[in-house]
Amino acid sequence: MRIPFWSRFAGRSRPALHTGERWRNLLRAAGSAPFYAPHTKALREAARASTEEDRRQALLGLPEVELDYFFQHSRHFMPAGQTAPTRELHPLWPGESRVAAVSPWFQTGPRARLFLHPDAAALSRFAPEVIAAPVDTLLALAARGDWSADSPLFALVALTGIGTPLLTPSLRDSLWQAFGVPIYVQFRGFQGEWLAGECEAHHGLHGHADGALIERRASGELMVTSLSNLRHTVLRLATRLHAWLDMRECGCGRTATRLMHLQHLPNAAMASAPTGLASLSALAAAAGASRSPHAAAPPVAREHEPSY
Ligand SMILES: [Zn+2]
């Protein structure tokens, strides 16, 4: 089985930043990335936007970035003199549950254990209440483990991102049959930052303007501006993902816009992505490998305790 090559970053989390502060930090960082050199004036003006509506309006004055271009020129989006990656905590599960995070690319939190290798036996010993992993890893676990026994497992978190497998209805059925627990999809950015997530109503993914500004092209393609990824400061990234936006109140009572029927655009093959960079999470790992002593090591067949 192919083991995904993810990266995680050491260090403690810091308190969440105010949305306006994230926005200004993002634009300041982008201002020193080569790609945005011709747009420094627009970035400075955009930094003055103080409401979500103003921020959305300001984005319109900045270029859209095609996914292929980003794959091929990722270094042009890395700010000069970058110090540390964003180290905010992105909880995989609210509350105090025992969480096993398998091969993710972000910090896991104090009650979670990170497994770099999707080893069904080691996971079984840990007896997680929640398993969070990329969709393909969950499918690999489903194929390898006997999860119908008296395990305390009560939920799965399916991590999806730009350029990674999505949870289709038939895959959801497969996981349900294998694990017998509900599955919650989380749409995450390249650094593991939360972009949108499924609630208990399982009817679309709730976005939140604190984490990302999501636009929709006339074609239905989503463009994402993550406010938390200062490693690759890319604004208005065309994702090759399609969704409907639903502004109506959800069954859970929340009114945040939901991404409905998230799916890859037809013919959205990653043909031009360089080998090894087929997912943008892998891209983050590859970029980290050349910059950070905490970068991804080759996958190892052992459990790995979080450093905090
Ligand atoms: Zn909801």
* CA 199 to ligand 1 centroid distance, Å: 5
* CA 173 to ligand 1 centroid distance, Å: 20
- Looking at per-residue confidence, does 140 or 274 come out higher? 140
* CA 200 to ligand 1 centroid distance, Å: 6
* CA 132 to ligand 1 centroid distance, Å: 19
| pLDDT 10s digits, 260-299 | 999 998 865 543 334 433 344 444 444 343 333 333 333 3
Query: Exposed, middle or buried: residue 95 (CB in 10 Å: 0-12, 13-18, 19+)?
Result: exposed
Would you say 1 and 279 are in contact if contact means Cβ atoms under 8 Å apart?
Answer: no
Tell me what pLDDT residue 295 has: 31
Task: State the CB neighbour count (10 A cutoff) for residue 215.
Answer: 17
Average pLDDT value for residue range 87-98? 72
Helix (H) or strand (E) holding 171: helix 169-179
pLDDT over 50 at 301, yes or no: no
* CA 256 to ligand 1 centroid distance, Å: 8
Q: Is 115 helix (H, G, I), strand (E, B) or coil?
A: strand
* CA 90 to ligand 1 centroid distance, Å: 19
Name the residue ranges covered by the structural domains of the chain: 19-85+207-279, 99-202+293-304
* CA 255 to ligand 1 centroid distance, Å: 8
Tell me what pLDDT residue 268 has: 56
Tell me what pLDDT residue 208 has: 80
Tell me what pLDDT residue 267 has: 67
Distance linking the first and last C-alpha atoms of the chain: 30
* CA 259 to ligand 1 centroid distance, Å: 11
Tell me what pLDDT residue 217 has: 94
* CA 57 to ligand 1 centroid distance, Å: 27
| pLDDT 10s digits, 59-88 | 999 999 999 999 889 889 999 876 555 555
* CA 186 to ligand 1 centroid distance, Å: 13
- Looking at per-residue confidence, does 108 or 26 come out higher? 26
Query: Per CATH, which fold does 99-202+293-304 belong to?
Result: Rossmann fold (3.40.50)
* CA 187 to ligand 1 centroid distance, Å: 14
Q: What is the secondary structure of 263-299 as a DSSP string?
A: EEPTT---TTSPTT-SSHHHHHHHHHHTT-TTSPPSP
Tell me what pLDDT residue 303 has: 33
| pLDDT 10s digits, 172-182 | 999 999 999 99
* CA 269 to ligand 1 centroid distance, Å: 31
* CA 111 to ligand 1 centroid distance, Å: 25
